[in-house]
Amino acid sequence: MERQTMQQQLEYWQRLLPVGSVWFAPQLTCRFVTVKGISYDRVTGYLMVQYTREDAPDAVFKENVGAFYNYIVEYQVQ
């Protein structure tokens, strides 16, 4: 299997977690989160998703895209 470039990985996650999409997040104290963007973090070497939570709409949170998609959110609601 061919190894994906960082750009290909970024494009994959941007399609899977589009900016503005709202997700049900049963693992958090709030119910819904909104994706604000995805970017590469040079310090950690991971792709990170930036998102807001309904209980803190003015704050922007960051999480590794894999952890966000596999553990924090359950399904896209819009």
Average pLDDT over residues 4-24: 94
pLDDT, tens only, 47-76: 999 999 999 989 999 999 999 999 999 999
Tell me which residue has tokens 């596999």: 70
Greater model confidence, 4 or 72: 72
- Please report the pLDDT score of residue 71 as a whole number: 93
How far apart, in whole angstroms, are the C-alpha atoms of residue 65 and residue 77?
18
CA 72: distance to chain centroid? 9
Q: Collapsing DSSP states into helix, strand and coil, what is residue 11?
A: helix
How is residue 57 written in tokens?
Answer: 């709409």
- Mean pLDDT computed over 15-36: 94
This prediction has a pTM of 0.90
